[in-house]
Amino acid sequence: MVKVRFAPSPTGYLHVGNARTALVNYLFARREGGRLLLRLDDTDTERGRPEFEQGLYDDLRWLGIEWDENAKQSERFARYEEVADQLKATGRLYPCFEGEDELASKRAALVKRKLPPIYDRGALNMTAEQRATAEANGKRPYWRFKLSDGAASWNDLVLGSRNIRLGTVSDPVLIRADGSPLYTFTSVVDDADMDITHIIRGEDHVSNTAVQIDLFQAITKKPVPRFAHLPLISGGDGEKLSKRIGSISLKSLRKDGIEPGAITSYLARLGTNKDPAPLPLPELVASFSLSDFSRSTPRFDARQLVALNRKLLHHIEFDAVKDRLPEGATPKFWNAIRDNIDMLTEARRWWEVVAGEFILPALPAHIPVWRAALDSLPPEPWDEATWKPWSTVISEATGAKGRDLFQPLRLALTGEEHGPEMAKLLPLIGRELVARRLASCVAADGTPG
């Protein structure tokens, strides 16, 4: 069975780059009838926080991404130690004592000789006595994994054929001097133990893949997972996105009024040969394929996301948004405004239009239209059919037509030059408030209040 994993670190709030990775893993798992593991890489105790962990769960559920299994690396230290002991016993994990200054000096010497600055495995030449002396002098070893000879090859499901000679890569440090395991090690152990079949992640991990394949083969006889590396998203300025850019965190997008369906619809197609469309998750699953992704860097375009959000709002029913609308909002109010907003947060402004107060600057040129409107104000009850005959009477009384007629009326009644159909707004505002606004408009100073 296909099994994938989304493995975030709870060191910040989820941003669109991470959300895309989570979504692609979810869509692939569901399309293939497989399972999705949510694994927290939470070994960074200094930067990890409980609120970030909870934020990950909340953001994923908000997007509609459900997972089948949970795991935490912080609960698996005993397992990592066990595998490390096995690698030490076979000589694949060896102790090193060089400090950063010594390593930097070695790298500089290699660069000067125009050689690749990879680790020279000097620690392997130390005798048992030299190691004992180093430890007696207070040095604690960190541990490197001895890479195999030859190369690591894989057919990337997005990037195509890849081949990396292991001799061009430094033996990676897997265990720090304080005994804590690094991501490269813990991730591979988990992938092996948890039967991960496909690893779908960002292109920034390509350089790790050759090492991880070699390490995977050293600790288990299970088949190596298949890899798919998605080109990283760039921002509007071409810079790579970072989880520390709050303006593109899911938390921020949610606060701004972007719907989860707009985000999933946009990210599911970002970087593919398919145009984004406001589709529910089941339809995104049905049309999903890794082969659709390009090798080119996709650009995150906020305008496209907002356009999708607008299309989505046009079809959302009142019951789906009523809890997020201003208190007192009705289905008629929602049906009147939903075609004219980009984000749900804009609904509050239109609620103020139909139920609140606002101030206009003095506009003497519009007073004849406003006075005629007040004088011909029809009796209630009002409905959507009230607007047309009333505006016709005003036009006949003033000679105003088109923009010269409708703009003054819209300004007086809504305070805006554009917006929802006046025929729908008029009965929501009501005769009493319309009369008060028009009376203020025709006052001597022309300032409604």
pLDDT digits over 186-229, tens only? Answer: 999 999 999 999 999 999 999 899 999 999 999 999 999 999 99
Task: Say if 400 falls within a structural domain.
Answer: yes
Residue 178 CA from chain centroid, whole number? 34
Structural domain includes residue 320:
no
Q: How confident is the model at residue 447 (pLDDT cuts 50, 70, 90)?
A: very low
What pLDDT does 449 receive?
Answer: 43
Is residue 7, in this structure, part of any structural domain at all? yes
For range 157-183, the mean pLDDT: 94
Helices (H) and strands (E) in the chain, counts: 19, 10
Residues 86 and 117 in one domain: no
Q: What is the mean pLDDT of residues 312-332?
A: 94
What's the pLDDT score for residue 243?
38
Which of 3-7, 36-40, 79-83, 230-234 is least confident? 230-234
Q: Are 124 and 238 part of one and the same domain?
A: no
Domain boundary pick from 140, 171, 197 = 140
pLDDT of 236 reads: 58
Over residues 82-96, the mean pLDDT reads 96
- CA distances, 221 to each of 34, 83, 87, 344 (Å): 22, 14, 14, 53
DSSP H stretches of helix in 64-205: 77-89, 100-112, 128-136, 183-193
Mapped onto helix, strand or coil, the DSSP state of residue 386 is coil
Cα separation, 307 vs 262, whole angstroms: 9
Q: Is the Cβ–Cβ distance between 212 and 204 less than 8 Å? A: no
Range 80-108 average pLDDT: 94
325 assigned to some structural domain: no
Q: Are 294 and 177 within one domain?
A: yes
Mean pLDDT for the chain overall:
91
Q: What is the mean pLDDT of residues 314-332?
A: 94
**pLDDT, greater one: 249 or 181:** 181
Residues 131 and 278 in one domain: no
The answer to whether 301 touches 271, Cβ cutoff 8 Å, is no
**Are 118 and 267 members of one domain?**
no
449: in domain: no
How many domains does the chain divide into?
3
3-state secondary structure of 315: coil
In this structure, are 435 and 367 located in the same domain? yes
* pLDDT tens, position by position, 236-273: 554 444 433 334 788 888 888 899 999 999 999 999 99
Same domain, 306 and 287: yes
323 part of a folded domain: no
- Residue 115, pLDDT > 90, answer no
Which residues touch 278 (CB under 8 Å, ≥6 apart)? 261, 262, 265, 308, 311, 312, 315
The mean per-residue pLDDT over the stretch 400-414 comes to 94
**Do 358 and 230 share a structural domain?**
no
Q: Are 134 and 165 within one domain?
A: no
CATH number at residue 271: 3.40.50.620
Residue 183 sits at the vertex; the CA angle it makes with 96 and 211, to the nearest 5 degrees, is 70
Q: Domain check: are 124 and 189 in the same one? A: no
Q: Are residues 198 and 275 in the same domain?
A: yes
pLDDT more than 70, % of the chain = 96
125 & 268 share domain: no
| Per-residue pLDDT at 260 | 95
In a domain, residue 38? The reply is yes
Residue 328 lies in a domain: no
CA geometry: angle at 378 spanning 372 and 382, to 5°?
135
Is cis: bond before 381, omega within 30 of 0? yes
Residue-range definition of the domain harbouring residue 102: 98-140
CA distance 310 to 30: 27
Q: pLDDT class for 319, splitting at 50, 70, 90?
A: very high
